[in-house]
Amino acid sequence: MFTVSGVMAEKEEQLYAKVTPRRQRQNRAGTLKHGSSLDVLLSMGFPKTRALKALVSTGGRNVQAACDWLFSHVDDPFLDDPLPREFVLYLRPSGPLLHQLSQFWQQSRVMCGKNKAHNIFPHITLCQFFMCTDAKAEALCEALQTVVGQWRGRFPSPLPLELYISSNFIGLFVDEKVAEVLKSFAADFATEATAKADVHVEPHKKQLHVTLAYHFPTNHLASLEKLARGVDVSLGCDWLAVLFSRDIRFANHETLRVMYPYTPQNEDELELVPGDFIFMSPVEQGSASEGWVYGTSLGTGLSGLLPENYVNRADECDTWVLHGSHSFLNCTSPTVSIGAVGGLFFDGQLDRRLLDDQSSVEQHPLSVIGHPMQMLQTNSQSRLPKRTLFVCRHGERMDVVFGKHWITQCFDAKGRYVRSNLNMPGSLPARSGGYREYDKDCPITVFGATQARLVGEALFESHTVIDFVYCSPSLRCVQTAHNILRGLQQDGKTKIRVEPGLFEWTKWVSGSSLPAWIPPTELAAANLVVDTTYRPHIPISKLTVSESYDTYITRSFQVTREILAECKALGNTVLIVAHASSLEACTRQMQGLSPQNAKDFVQVVRKIPYLGFCACEEMGETGVWQLVDPPILPLTHGPNHSFNWRETLLQD
C-alpha cells in the first residue's frame, strides 16, 4: 500500500479550512457531497479529471478514500484516461429472505461447485449496463435517490415470485403484473437519469427474475432443484434499489483474487498484494506459460506477469463499486458505500460478505396494487420512529499505547498509581483484587475518553437520544460508554447496563482464565454511571475460556436479540459499547445474513478502529434490520509518538 506523501502535509491546513465550514453541506446520511470532496481534492493540487475518477472509483465515500486511491494509482498508465464507467441498476433483497438465498448460494456452491449464477450476487436486473462519465456520476446517484423517494408507498410489497426449473436454468420469476410495475419504476429512473446526468438507460425488457443457477452440469440438476425448493420466498424482505459501476475496460475479463504476496524479480512482472484483484483478458486466460499469466491490478492499475498459483478465481462482482443502496421502506433512504472484500478499498468496492443478496417475496394476491388502503397503511407505518441499534467499539486502551508493562511503570510496591504521561488517566478505580487485575482489564487513555466524549457530542448535535446503553464488562468499554453519555449530556439520566454476554471472543484472552472484571457496584462507587440493579442476560458464570468461534457468534446474536426484545416498546434507540468484533457479531445475523467463516471475520475485525461506530435500523414491521449510515461523522486521528526532549534536543 502507498502512503500519503508530503503533498498531504503541505495542504493539511487548507484541507481542514475547506472541510470545517462545509459541515452544513452534509447530506442526511452524514457524508460530504461530491462537490465539497471535489473542492478539497482540487485544493490539494489534484487535476479535476483525476479527482473525479478517484471519487467515482471509490463510490464517492470520502476524501481520504479518494486520496488513497490516487496515491496507489500514481503510476497507472490509464489514470488520465477519459473513458466512462459502466453502471447498472439492480433490486436486491435483505433480511430473512436474503438469509435463505445466501444459504442456497453457499450450499449449492459446496455441493455442486460454482456455476454462472455465482459470478454476481442474487438480484433482479432493472436495466442493461449503461455508460456514465465521472463528471455526471453524482447527478446519476441523485436521480436514483429522487425516483426511489417518489416510489415509496407505491412499490409492490410483497413481490410474488414463482420458482421455474429447466434442464440448465433455475430461477424465481416475478408475477407479470407486478413485473410491469417494476418496469415502470425502471422507466422513471431512466427518464430522471437522462434529465439529470445526460445518460441513456435502457430498462430491462425481458421477464424479471432472480437467477438461482444456470450453466451447470446436467447431473447437478436434482441437487440444485432440491435446494431451490427449500427457499421460502414468503419470508420478510425489504427490496433495495442498488446502483453499481465497473471499469469498462475489464467488463469481459476474468477476475482473480491475490492470495499471496509477490515481489517482482524482473521489470515485466507485477507486484502482488494479498486481497488485491487482478483482471485477465479472455485472450490471456488461455496463454498461461509455465505457470505465469498476464494481468492488471485493481489496486494500482499496473499490468505485468504474475505467478498463476498466487491467485484464485474470484467472482465478477467482487470488484464492482457500490454508489447507492436505497430502501423503499426506509424514509431516510440512506446511501450506503461498502468496501472491497480484499481490503484495499473499504469505501467504494463491493464487499460480497455484506452484499450476498437475492430476490423474493410472498406469493400472495396483488393486494398492494389492488387495494389502495394497504398502501396508505404502509405509508403511515414508515413514518413511525424506527428502532435503531448503534454498536460502538471502545476508546484507545492503555496497554496498546504504553505496552504491557505500563502497570509496573505506574504502580509502586504499595499499589499506588502515578501516571508518567499526560495521556494516562489522572486516577484509576480501586480493584478489590489488587492493581494486577489491570493486566487483563485495562482502562482507556485520556485520549480514549476524549474520543468517546467527541462521539457523544456529535450524537448530541445530531439530536440523537439514546434510550438504553449496554456494554461489555471490560473497564475500557464501561469508561467509553460513560464518556459517550457525558458528551450526549445524558450521564445523569441514562445508566449503563453491564452485560457479560457482550464480551469479545474469549479465545483472544491470554492465559487460562477470564479477566476479573470490576463489579457494577464498585464501578458505580468509582462515579461511573452504571445500573447496579441490572440482571444480565448471560451472566459471567456462563462464559468459558477459549470458546469456539461458533459459540461466540451464537452468544453475540442471542444477547443482541434479547436486548432488543427487552427494550421494545420502552424506547427506540439502543447503544451497545463493546469490542471491535461486536460491530460485526452483533449486527450481521440481525440482517438475516449467515455468519462469516472465522478467517474472514478476523479480517473485518482488524479494520475497525477505536470508536468505530455502526448503525442498524429495523425496517418497518417486517422484522428486517439493515445497516444504515450513522448520524455522525467518522472519527480519524493520526499517531503521536512519545517525545523525549532530552534525547531529541540535547544532542552534541
CA distances from 108 to 224, 230, 343, 477 (A): 6, 12, 26, 41
Residue 294 · residue 300 · CB < 8 Å = no
| DSSP H or E run through 111 | helix 96-112
Closest listed residue to residue 610, CA positions, set 498, 453, 470, 500: 453
Gap between the Cα atoms of 173 and 522, Å rounded? 60
Q: Provide the grid cell at 493.
A: 439520566
- Would you say 400 and 393 are in contact if contact means Cβ atoms under 8 Å apart? no
**Contact of 567 with 468, CB cutoff 8 Å:** yes
Cβ partners under 8 Å of residue 183, min gap 6: 126, 203, 204, 205, 208
Q: How many whole angstroms separate alpha carbon 470 and alpha carbon 391?
A: 10
Residues 6+ apart with CB under 8 A from 554: none
**307 beta partners:** 292
Q: What span, in angstroms and rounded, lies between the C-alpha atoms of 650 and 24?
A: 47
End-to-end CA distance of the chain: 37
Burial of 287 (0-12, 13-18, 19+ CB in 10 A): exposed
- Residue 204 contacts residue 126 (beta carbons within 8 Å): yes
As annotated, the active-site residues are: 393-394, 579
Q: Please list, in sequence order, all residues whose beta carbon lies within 8 angstroms of the beta carbon of residue 473, skipping any fewer than 6 positions away.
A: 498, 499, 500, 502, 503, 515, 517, 540
Q: Which of 327, 323, 295 is nearest to 95 (CA)?
A: 327
The CA distance from 471 to 502, in Å, is 7
> Could you tell me the three cell numbers for 203?
430498462
Q: Report CA Rg, the chain.
A: 26
CA pair distance 399, 423, nearest whole angstrom:
12
| 628, β-bridge pairs | 615
Neighbouring residues of 403: CB distance < 8 A, sequence distance ≥ 6: none
- Partners of 89 in beta bridges: 243
Question: 321 forms bridges with which residues in the sheet?
Answer: 245, 349
633: cell is 461523522
Quick one: cell of 181? Answer: 410495475
46: closest CA among 2, 4, 16?
4
